[in-house]
Amino acid sequence: MPAKSPVIVDLKFIPEEVDAALEGAFPGREVINLADPVHEGRDLSGIDYAVVWKSAPDLFSRAPDLKIVFSGGAGVDHVLTLPGLPDVPLVRFVDRTLTTRMSEWVVMQCLMHLRQHRAYEALARRREWRDLSQPEAADVTVGIMGMGVLGQDAARKLTVMGFKVVGWSRTKRVVEDIETYDAAGLDTFLDRSDFLVGLLPLTPETTGIFNRGLFAKLSRKGPFGAPVFINAGRGGSQVEADILSCLDDGTLAAVSLDVFEREPLSPESRFWTMPNVYVTPHVAASSDVKALFVHVEEQIARFENGLPLQHVVDKVAGY
C-alpha cells in the first residue's frame, strides 16, 4: 500500500491552538506544520494536501503538486489572491461550530443595539438610574446581505429572538418564514432594513458595496430613525470613509464592525472611540481548529475513496 500523503498545515492562527488540535489529528500521515522552524526551506513537492489561512505568497511554488487546497476558514479571498493557485479543488470550512459562533455574534450585536447597551453603559458610568424608551425586537426588521450558510443560520436565530428578517443574495434563496430578495430586489430590500447585517464574501462584485449610496437607501422607519450597520463578512466590502461620514451626519445611527479594510485596525482609527461603534478584531466566528482538522480528514477520506468533495469553492464566482 502506498504511503499516505503528508498534509501541509499553514495556519496563521493562535499557535498553541494549532499545536493542541494537531495532537492525534491526521492519523497515519506526516503533518508538516509550517509554523515549526524545522520545516523552513523544506521541499514540499510531491505533497497532495494543504490547509491554509493567510499563507505566504510562495506557498504554491514550494508545493507544486497539491491535489486539494483547504481554506482554514469559511472565506477564501485569502487563497484566491495567492500567486500560482493551482487548478485543483479549493475546499472551504463549513461547520456547525463556525456557523453557531457567527450567529451568536450577529444576534448579540442586534440585541446590543436594540437594548441600547452603550447608552446604559454611559448612564451606569455616571451612576444615573434612568430608563430609556424600549422598542422590542418585533419593531425591527433586520436585513441580511449574504444568505449563504452563515446568513441563513443568523436569520433563523434572529427570528427566534423576535426580529423580523429579510434576506438578500445573488440568487433568490428560499428560507422558511423569511422574505428573500435576489440581486434585482436590492432597493426594495434596503428600504425594508432597519438594521443591515453584512455576511457577504469578498469578490469583485462585493468590493465596496457598503457605501454611502447604499446606506442612504436603508429604512429610516425603524425605532431609532436612522439605520444600524453590522458587518462580519469582509472589510473590503465596506467603504470606511463613508461609514464615518454617515455616522457623523446621521445617515447611520450606529455600527458594529468585526472586519476592516485593513487589519489589524489602526490604533489611530476613530472607530475605536466612537460611542455608537462596536469594534471586534475579526473574531465573530474564528475557526475551531480541532473541528477544522476533522473536516479536512473527512474530505481527504472522501477524495481517497472516490467520493465527491463537499464545500468546493466556485473560483469564477469567487466564493
The residues carrying an active-site annotation are 234, 282
Would you count residue 169 as binding ligand OXD (CB under 6 A)? no
Cβ 168 vs Cβ 144: under 8 Å: yes
Residues touching ligand OXD: how many (CB under 6 A)? 6
Secondary structure (3-state) at 151:
helix
Q: Which of 72, 89, 143, 201 binds ligand NDP (CB under 6 A)?
A: 201
Q: Give CA–CA dist 197/163, Å, rounded.
A: 13
Would you count residue 287 as binding ligand OXD (CB under 6 A)? yes
Q: Give the closest residue to 279 by CA, choosing from 291, 292, 266, 288.
A: 266
Q: Which of ligand NDP, ligand OXD, none interacts with 201 (beta carbon under 5 to 8 A by kind)?
A: ligand NDP
Residues touching ligand NDP: how many (CB under 6 A)? 31
Q: Which of ligand OXD, ligand NDP, none interacts with 148 (beta carbon under 5 to 8 A by kind)?
A: ligand NDP
Question: Shortest gap between Cβ of 305 and ligand OXD (angstroms)?
Answer: 27
Instruction: Compare residues 89 and 201 and give the one whose CB is closer to ligand NDP.
Output: 201
Cβ 74 vs Cβ 94: under 8 Å: yes
Q: Which of 26, 52, 73, 222 binds ligand OXD (CB under 6 A)?
A: 73
Instruction: Compare residues 31 and 82 and give the one whose CB is closer to ligand NDP.
Output: 82
For residue 316, what is its C-alpha cell? 469564477
Q: Give CA–CA dist 130/127, Å, rounded.
A: 9
Cβ 218 vs Cβ 242: under 8 Å: no
In sequence order, what are the residues at sequence separation of 6 or more whose Cβ sits closer than 8 angstroms to the Cβ of residue 89? 68, 69, 309, 312, 313
Q: Which of 112, 166, 226, 259 binds ligand NDP (CB under 6 A)?
A: 259
Q: Which of ligand OXD, ligand NDP, none interacts with 288 (beta carbon under 5 to 8 A by kind)?
A: none
Rounded to 5 degrees, φ, ψ at 277 are -130, 125
Would you give the binding string for ligand NDP spanning residues 282-301, x where CB under 6 A is met?
A: x-xx----------------
Cβ 91 vs Cβ 309: under 8 Å: yes
Cβ 182 vs Cβ 172: under 8 Å: yes
Instruction: Compare residues 5 and 99 and give the one whose CB is closer to ligand NDP.
Output: 99
Q: Which of 75, 146, 148, 222 binds ligand OXD (CB under 6 A)?
A: 75
Would you give the binding string for ligand OXD spanning residues 216-255, x where CB under 6 A is met?
A: ----------------------------------------
The DSSP 8-state label assigned to residue 7 in this structure reads E
Cα–Cα–Cα angle for 311, 315, 319, rounded to 5 degrees: 55
Task: Enumerate binding residues for ligand OXD (CB under 6 A).
Answer: 73-75, 285-287
